[in-house]
């Protein structure tokens, strides 16, 4: 295995970690996007408090322009094939955290399970705190967009979105819904919580797409 490899092995757990921290090459020369500063802390940013959840009644839905709408229990969601990735995290307020390890289900795998219709162009994520966020479909159909339930090998802390959140290492982090419980495939764009309040729909950190 060379240092260029994107696969490394976690000796103890014997699990494979896919390092996707080099995805910035697609967007710019610098791993740290312009206007960001690196932090080793992991601040919490939530529009309101941390919502409660009940594993017995929690339900994850996939709706809209799909062949088969899905409704998954917590156990069913946890049984989906998952992987661990090493990713960077860029908050629109100006901090970036490198080398976060998230474990979960890649967006394309979930999309394939439902079967996305040809006329789907946009995706709206919903969450237990009534947060929403939207992205063009093509920005979601990437292996790096994860529905993550673990962070650094531990259950995802509740204030960081546990039991389940989305992470979007190629976008500002407001595109990653914490406490996510639904995905709707849309045939027309629909804005989410921050997007309606003037934040960018596309949110590319290397273009400093902070506001619309």
Ligand X SMILES: Nc1nc2c(c(=O)[nH]1)N[C@H]1C(S)=C(S)[C@@H](COP(=O)(O)O)O[C@H]1N2
Could you list the residues that contact ligand X (CB under 6 A)?
Answer: 43-47, 91, 127, 129, 131, 160-161, 173-174, 176-179
- For tokens 């090459």, the residue is 25
Minimum distance from residue 26 beta carbon to Mo ion (Å): 22
Phi, psi angle pair for 29, to nearest 5°: -85, -25
d(CA 183, CA 180) in angstroms, rounded, equals 8
d(CA 128, CA 51) in angstroms, rounded, equals 6
Verify binding: residue 147, Mo ion, rule CB under 5 A: no
Verify binding: residue 209, Mo ion, rule CB under 5 A: no
Which of 34, 45 has the CB closer to ligand X? 45
Residue 131 touches which of Mo ion, ligand X, none (Cβ within 5-8 Å per kind): ligand X
Verify binding: residue 45, Mo ion, rule CB under 5 A: yes
- If one counts every other C-beta atom within 10 angstroms of the C-beta of residue 167, the result is 25
> CA 56, 58, 63 angle in degrees (round to 5)?
145
Phi, psi angle pair for 96, to nearest 5°: -130, 140
Which of 92, 114 has the CB closer to Mo ion? 92
Q: Which has the closest alpha carbon to 145: 62, 57, 83?
A: 83
Minimum distance from residue 113 beta carbon to ligand X (Å): 22
Minimum distance from residue 25 beta carbon to ligand X (Å): 23
Residue 103 host element (H or E): strand 95-106
The residue of the chain with the least Cβ separation from Mo ion equals 174
Verify binding: residue 34, Mo ion, rule CB under 5 A: no
Which of 55, 94 has the CB closer to ligand X? 94
| Residue of the chain from 77, 174, 179, 199 that contacts Mo ion (CB under 5 A) | 174
């Amino acid at each position: 295995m060379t240092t260029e490899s994107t696969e490394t092995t976690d000796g103890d757990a014997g699990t494979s970690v896919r390092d996707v921290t080099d995805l910035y090459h697609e967007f710019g020369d610098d791993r740290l996007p312009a206007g960001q500063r690196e932090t080793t802390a992991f601040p919490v940013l939530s529009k309101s408090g941390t919502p409660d959840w009940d594993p017995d009644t929690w339900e994850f839905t996939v709706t809209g322009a799909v062949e088969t709408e899905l409704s998954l229990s917590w156990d069913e969601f946890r049984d989906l094939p998952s992987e661990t990735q090493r990713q960077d995290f860029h908050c629109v307020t100006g901090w970036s955290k490198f080398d976060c390890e998230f474990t979960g289900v890649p967006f394309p795998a979930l999309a394939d399970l439902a079967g996305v219709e040809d006329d789907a162009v946009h995706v709206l994520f919903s969450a237990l705190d009534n947060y929403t966020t939207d992205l063009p479909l093509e920005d979601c159909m990437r292996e790096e967009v994860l529905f993550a339930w673990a962070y650094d090998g531990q259950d995802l802390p509740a204030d960081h979105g546990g039991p389940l959140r989305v992470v979007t290492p190629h976008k500002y982090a407001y595109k990653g819904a914490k406490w996510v419980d639904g995905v709707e495939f849309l045939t027309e764009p629909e804005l989410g919580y921050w997007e309606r309040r003037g934040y960018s729909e596309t949110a590319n950190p290397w273009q400093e797409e902070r506001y619309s």
